[in-house]
């Protein structure tokens, strides 16, 4: 197994993490922006107001995208296992 193989696997794994975490991060960002605009318009400056809606929306996005995330992770692992002989030998 060469250094190039290790770098390629690492890059692929990092992109997988970014791709799989994007739905939750984007959801949290959008909900936080909407609540911040609401707080600015209504002059409510409660810092904990964003926590519960963000948490609920992140869990909902995890439920909705969970199958897609699991399929991506499984295909990555299956690809690694199928190429295991190349890495060892």
pLDDT digits 0-9 by tens, 27-74: 999 999 999 999 889 888 887 888 899 999 999 999 999 999 999 999
- How is the chain split into domains, by residue range? 3-88
- Sign of the CA dihedral running 27, 28, 29, 33: positive
The contacts of residue 19 (CB under 8 Å, 6+ apart) are: 72
Is 64 exposed, middle or buried, given 0-12, 13-18 or 19+ CB atoms closer than 10 A?
A: exposed
Does the model's pTM come out above 0.85?
no
pLDDT value at position 85? 85
């Amino acid at each position: 197994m060469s250094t190039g193989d290790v770098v390629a696997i690492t890059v692929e794994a990092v992109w997988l993490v970014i791709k799989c975490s994007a739905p939750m991060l984007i959801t949290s960002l959008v909900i936080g922006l909407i609540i911040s605009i609401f707080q600015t318009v209504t002059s409510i400056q409660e810092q904990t107001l964003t926590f519960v809606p963000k948490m609920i929306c992140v869990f909902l996005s995890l439920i909705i995208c969970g199958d897609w995330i699991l399929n991506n992770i499984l295909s990555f692992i299956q690809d690694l296992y199928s190429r295991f002989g190349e890495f060892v030998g």
